[in-house]
Amino acid sequence: MSMNELTPQDLEHDVIVIRLTDRYEAKVNEHGSRTLTAQELYDITRSCWHITKEKVAPFKIVLSVYEGEVKEVYTVCDWYDHFTTFNENRGKPPRKPRIEFIGDIANADIRSRYLGKRLKGFFTQGDQYPVRTFTKSIK
């Protein structure tokens, strides 16, 4: 395995992986650049996901992933019902109940373990669901 690859067995924390697609690509197209601002990346990562608060409540670290690469690492302060927190990059309201988090960029120690890594073995081919929870491996 490459030093730049990350597998589920490499996890040192329980994490939520959020794969960004449409909203990330829309922002990229809006800018005409592959780079988003830190605020834009945070806002599209943190909301608005079809998963229950009960399932994600124990998880305090979120990996924001685009095209298999960890773009940012966040620590979660808390989870909320969708459209109940301020978000300047919000899309249209969803038809089904969703959740979102409030958080911060992870501390340097946690961030350095995951930022820029390429995910390998986290999702099966054809898996369309963008949010997955992973429990750290026991080493």
pLDDT digits (tens, 9 = 90+) for 14-71: 999 999 988 888 888 887 777 889 999 998 899 878 888 899 999 999 999 999 999 9
Query: Cα separation of 68 and 17, whole Å?
Result: 10
Cut 0.85: pTM above it: yes
Burial-class residue 98 by CB neighbours within 10 Å (0-12, 13-18, 19+). middle
Asked if residue 113 lies in contact with residue 98, where contact means CB atoms within 8 angstroms, the answer is no
Query: Cα separation of 36 and 24, whole Å?
Result: 8
Query: Cα separation of 69 and 76, whole Å?
Result: 20
At 76, is the secondary structure helix, strand, or coil? strand
Query: Cα separation of 117 and 24, whole Å?
Result: 18
